[in-house]
Structure 1
């Protein structure tokens, strides 16, 4: 299926693929579809996993194809035009900063990305002697930055109340709400509130599904569905009173895992847009498509430079997998904002793979006292909320063992004396010490430091000749590259551990309504049984050993999620019960006796009398109400 490329690209992007065909999983939003590139991800070795996930990331930069339906893409004229219009609205705030504010908002990965970007752009403004104008909102507050609290994004009213607090007394507020799948109630409520108060607020919605695929089931504490909110925004966009930025970037390499491609595309799109806005104001240049395209190409370059290290990424993936298999721990120790990326990756493994919070953890080396809105929320909250260098030295370093892996993540512009001192202390306790190092052409890692790392991923960046934004483009490239490496490594390690069925997260933790519907879709996909039967089995697995009453069946989704998020192996338990036509207790016993969740499910799928194999269904059912 040939594509038509209007622009010169740094990388070779895959041609528009099977997922774009109108009949491919038609009832499922793009962000929840199964990516045809990775349908056999669970059978791949480490090297193949890196290659496949790299190809999925390259889809971010695809242009529109010649097939129908044609989804708008990142390089589509309509998307670039909207990016320029939004940049213009941000410029208005930057030019008249008194009473102005730019709010970046989201839940889960999107919320953590708003934290990272607000830190970066406030640092940019402070470096120019300007008053910082950015703030972030994350569902559940600052604790959600460093811990898995995905359930907090299910409340529209929570989102509105948080927005009111930060915008109090402001005259002009641009609110950029991020929901990768166009589904988070936390963001929907904020967008609706902004549209009701356009004298002060300008809402901008960022996601990666067409509006027609936005979630359309009721939000428990709000009057509108997400789709209705997005449709209203589209109408108001005609008068530039609201904007929707929603290019298609293709399905995730791991179905529905928006921490990966969705998180990366969010970073690329918004950093391009916001950096162009700042350049226009500070340098007095005209905002143009050319400016956007120049920055976008630097992110393509980041993909090329990162995945040129595929063999070393695969080596790190195997080492992380070995540590996890031996019940060891993986510690990601990152300097400055690379530490934020490390924290994000560790936190997201909890609900994605049903991991323990100690399995993969990130730590931030460097001063972070002015990064958080409410740093008090993280003080004395227990081990799950530790993130600093002191926390690593006091609670992790003394207990390191030979089954653990420690990954140092830094640039050659960081304090290398500090890096070496900490690495030497770690080497005294643990030999599995690795490094991900970023440098610029002409820089080299000092020999004494290099000797400390048996395995090293060294990413060398070309010099940039942007007169204004070069330093920040390079910073953003390094962050994105680190994100791609860590996402690939942690995902691949769990694939190698047998946590994935085809390219589905069979053992995810049901932490919010989005994941409840994803769980139901997986049960229907792999069991081939009716929606009603799958709902019954899912609720039985969630509430076991309590028998299901009519009152429990009729309870809101939030009640089921509240119980499910504290339990492990809910989805595989329900699926085995469906496939083997056995009780929940028998399904749980089979899982307990199995060495791998996915192996016991594969065995059940291939057993006698099963209509479904492990081939993905072409048209799994859409989400909706329980009735």
Structure 2
């Protein structure tokens, strides 16, 4: 396996002698190649997302597993699903080698242990209905390898996300993704282009999966959790955008409904709270299907 992420970048060989403006230009130029690299593997990303949706439809979970930057990016994507899509914290989970301490501090040796990953997944009571996505820029992190191997042993679906070609984790995963972003401006610092690519791909995986299980109406976050003043205001404005009613009317129906999704169905269908709630239950929470059912 050729390790592109560890090679030296010929365009930044004199990095320490460049001006700030020159360094910024080099980094920006390199970053522009990341979306192009992702574009090459969109079919593979699509297949992985389809598998995630299947897991969700079986009441399974999406579990990210990684070390260092990769692990932190998985955790970031997981925790943001809760306020954005109203999911329970256990629906999308991020595991990092070394546990919570490793989110901000390096935990020496943790990423080199395959057994530690197995232990972490056992603590989650991993089942065959879940899907585990291993994230590693190099594609050869032992912690990620151990986690993917264990997931396959118990029959769970597996995906991988790396930034090299023909990686070890790709050979294990059912749905491998290799976004080859090339040598970093600062040699081996995969928090740069590789990390950016991982963040973009994870955005796709979680967002598209959530939309496909009914967490959006048009392009609006209809399951957003209104847990603070800003989000309460956002919830009401989403109702305004979705229905065309005024802010005061949106506020009134939102207070009656108790959720953005239910309020939208009530307004657009003209149905009662009870009938709208029943329609949402019968359509697995899809707003558009609920409205059609009530019309």
TM interval, shorter chain, is: 0.7 to 0.9
Unaligned runs of 5+ in 2: 1-13, 106-115
Alignment of 1:80-479 (within 5 A): 283=16, 285-288=18-21, 290-366=22-98, 369=101, 372=104, 389=117, 392-396=120-124, 399-412=125-138, 414-416=140-142, 418-439=143-164, 444-446=166-168, 450-464=170-184, 466=185, 469-472=186-189, 474-479=190-195
* Distance change (3 Å), C-alpha of 1:421 and 1:572: closer
Aligned position for 1:481: 197
Q: Distance in 1 between matches of 2:145 and 2:246?
A: 59
Say whether 1:571 aligns with 2:256.
no
Query: What does residue 11 of structure 1 align with?
Result: none
Bigger drift between 336-345 and 352-361 goes to 352-361
For normalisation by structure 2, the TM-score amounts to 0.81
Q: Is the 8 A contact 1:339 1:409 kept in 2?
A: yes
CA distance in 1, matches of 2:293, 2:244: 13
Query: Aligned to 1:411, what secondary structure does the other structure show?
Result: coil
Distance across 2 between alignment mates of 1:424 and 1:525:
46
Please state how far the C-alpha of 1:483 moved relative to its aligned partner: 0.9
* Contact 2:31–2:193 (8 Å) recurs in 1: yes
Determine if the alignment matches structure 1 residue 516 to structure 2 residue 232. yes
Partners of 2:118 and 2:153 in 1: CA distance? 18
CA 1:413–1:539 in structure 2 vs 1: closer, same or farther (change >3 Å)?
closer
Give me the whole-angstrom Cα distance separating, in 2, the residues matched to 1:593 and 1:420: 40
CA contact (8 A) 2:82 2:88 kept: yes
Q: CA deviation at 1:354?
A: 1.5
Distance 1:589 1:364, change over 3 A: same
Residues in 2 aligned to 1:419 and 1:506: alpha-carbon distance in whole angstroms? 34
> Given the superposition, is the C-alpha separation of residues 576 and 477 from structure 1 closer, same or farther in structure 2, using an over 3 Å criterion?
same
Change over 3 Å in CA distance of 1:591–1:454 after alignment to 2: closer
Between the aligned partners of 2:180 and 2:20, the Cα distance in structure 1 is 30
Deviations 1:398-432 (A, max 9, x none): x322221111111327544x443333222211241
Question: In structure 2, do the counterparts of structure 1 residues 433 and 505 end up closer, same or farther at CA, with 3 Å as the change threshold?
Answer: same
Structure whose residues are more often helix by fraction: 2
Q: Is the 8 A contact 1:424 1:452 kept in 2?
A: yes
CA contact (8 A) 1:573 1:588 kept: yes
Normalization by structure 1: what TM-score? Answer: 0.40
Q: Which residue of 2 aligns with 1:158?
A: none
Q: 1:328 to 1:580 in 2, by over 3 A?
A: same
* RMSD (Å) for aligned C-alpha atoms: 2.9
Deviations 1:68-125 (A, max 9, x none): xxxxxxxxxxxxxxxxxxxxxxxxxxxxxxxxxxxxxxxxxxxxxxxxxxxxxxxxxx
How far is 1:337 from its partner? 1.2
Could you tell me how far 1:455 is from its partner in structure 2? 2.1
Q: Which has the larger radius of gyration?
A: 1
Residues 135 and 160, structure 2, Cα contact 8 Å, conserved in 1 = yes
1:597 aligned residue (263, 286, 292): 286
Q: 1:536 offset after TM fit, Å?
A: 1.0
Structure possessing the higher relative contact order (Cα contacts under 8 Å, 6 or more residues apart): 2
Superposition deviation, residue 524 in structure 1: 1.8
Change (3 A) 1:328 1:298: same
Cα deviation 1:284-333 (Å, max 9, x = unaligned) = 65332x32121111111112112221000100010000100111111111
Once the two structures are TM-superposed, the CA of residue 367 in structure 1 deviates from its matched residue by: 7.2
CA contact 1:579–1:604 (8 Å) conserved in 2:
no
Cα contact 2:83–2:225 (8 A) shared by 1: yes
Give the Cα separation in 1 of the matches to 2:128 and 2:103: 34
Assess, with a 3 A threshold, how the Cα gap between structure 1 residues 484 and 519 changes in structure 2: closer, same or farther.
Answer: same
Residue 10 of structure 2 is matched in structure 1 by: none
- Give, in whole Å, the separation in 1 of the partners of 2:234 and 2:251: 12
Q: CA deviation at 1:487?
A: 0.9
Number of aligned residue pairs: 273
